[in-house]
Amino acid sequence: MSETNLTTSGKILAFAAVVEVGTGLVLMIDPAIVVKLLLGAEVSGAGILLGRCFGVALLALGVACWPGRQRAETASPAFRGMLIYNALIALYLAYLGTVGHLGGLLLWPGVALHAVVALLLGWTWRAEQRAKAANT
């Protein structure tokens, strides 16, 4: 992997990790505010508990993807996990906004953020694959 791609993938992964750690912490503290801002809906009871569980999972994902040379490599499990998470959560949030007719203030910015991060991670992965192919 070239040093430029490592730097680029490391920065993208670091940005994504910080976003997920922050979101995870907010979900652990007050899941109702996240649900209201993302989906424009109220949550109570078991939904609060599941929101906090999701917060723990996002915190763990962010920590697992925290910047480090090995994590920034596109072949690393951390890189692949963050790519898959961002692609799927962008699609699911878009589904909730269109088919589910849900939407809070931050739904579409959230979709855009996750889609852009997924595209950037995918672009970095593709650039590495091309570089490997050119060297063989």
Q: What is the pLDDT of residues 51-99, one digit of tens each?
A: 999 999 999 999 999 877 666 677 788 899 999 999 999 999 999 999 9
Residue 1 has pLDDT above 50, yes or no: no
Residue with the larger pLDDT of the pair 119 and 1:
119
Burial class (CB in 10 A: 0-12, 13-18, 19+), 37: middle
Q: Per 3-state DSSP, what percentage of the chain is helix, strand, and coil (rounded to 5)?
A: 80, 0, 20
CB–CB of 3/72 below 8 Å? no
- Cα-trace Rg, the chain: 16
- For the entire predicted model, the pTM comes to 0.88
Quick: pLDDT tens for 3-34: 555 578 889 999 999 999 999 999 999 999 99
- Average model confidence (pLDDT) for the chain? 91
CA–CA gap between residue 33 and residue 28 (Å, rounded) = 11
Structural domain boundaries of the chain? 3-135
